A and B are shown apart, each in its own frame.
Chain A
Amino acid sequence: MSLVRIEALTKQYPGGVLALDDLTLQLEPGIIGLVGSNGAGKSTLIRILLGLLPATSGRAFVLDRDVATDGIGVRALVGYMPEHDALPPDVSATTLVNHMAMLSGLPRGAARERTAEVLRHVGLYEERYRPIGGYSTGMRQRVMLAQALVHDPRLLLLDEPTNGLDPAGRDEMLDLIRRTGREFGIAIILASHLLGEIERVGDFLVAIEGGRLLQAAPLADFTTKTGVVRVELDDDPAPFAQRLDVAGLAHRVDGFDVLIDLGGQDYDLVRDAVAELGLGLVRIEPERRTLEDLFR
Chain B
Amino acid sequence: MTAPTPPRTGSAGSIYDLGYRGYDGPRLGRRHAVGTLVRDAFRACWGIGRSGRAKIVPFGLFALAMIPAVVAVGVSALVSQLGEAGGAFDDEAIIGFSSYFEYVWPLVALFVAAQAPELVGGDQRHRVLALLFARALRREDYAGGKLVALVAALLLLLLVPQAVILLGRALVPADVVEAIVADAAQVPAVIGQAILAAVFLGSLGLAIAAYTPRRAFATAGIIAVLIVPPLVSAVAVTLVGESTAGWLTLFSPPDILEGTNAFFFDLTRTSAGRSLPDVAWPLAAMAWSVVAIGALLWRYRTIQP
Contact = CB atoms under 8 A, between A and B. Distances in A.
Interface in B1-34: 13-23, 25-30, 32-33
A183 B50 CA distance: 37
A122 interface: yes
Contacts of B132: 103
Contact of B122 (A78, A88, A106): A88
A147 B131 contact: yes
A86 B128 contact: yes
B18 A120 contact: yes
Interface string A59-101: 0000000000001110110111010111111110001000110
Contacts, number: 117
Contact of A122 (B15, B50, B134): B15
B51 interface: yes
B37 to A, nearest CB: 7
B305 A103 contact: no
B50 A90 contact: yes
Contact of B127 (A84, A104, A106, A152): A84
Given A107-B25, A172-B15, A72 B136 contact: yes
B28 A184 contact: no
Contacts of A175: 15
A102 B127 CA distance: 19
Contacts of B15: 122-123, 142, 172, 175-176
A32 to B, nearest CB: 18
21 contacts: A71-B138, A72-B136, A79-B134, A80-B130, A82-B134, A84-B127, A86-B126, A86-B128, A86-B131, A87-B126, A88-B122, A88-B126, A100-B135, A105-B30, A105-B33, A106-B28, A107-B28, A120-B16, A121-B18, A152-B22, A176-B15
Interface of B: 13-23, 25-30, 32-33, 36-37, 40, 49-51, 54, 122-123, 126-138, 305
Given A50-B134, A107-B28, A123-B15, 9 more contacts: A72-B137, A76-B27, A80-B130, A105-B26, A123-B16, A151-B23, A151-B27, A175-B15, A184-B20
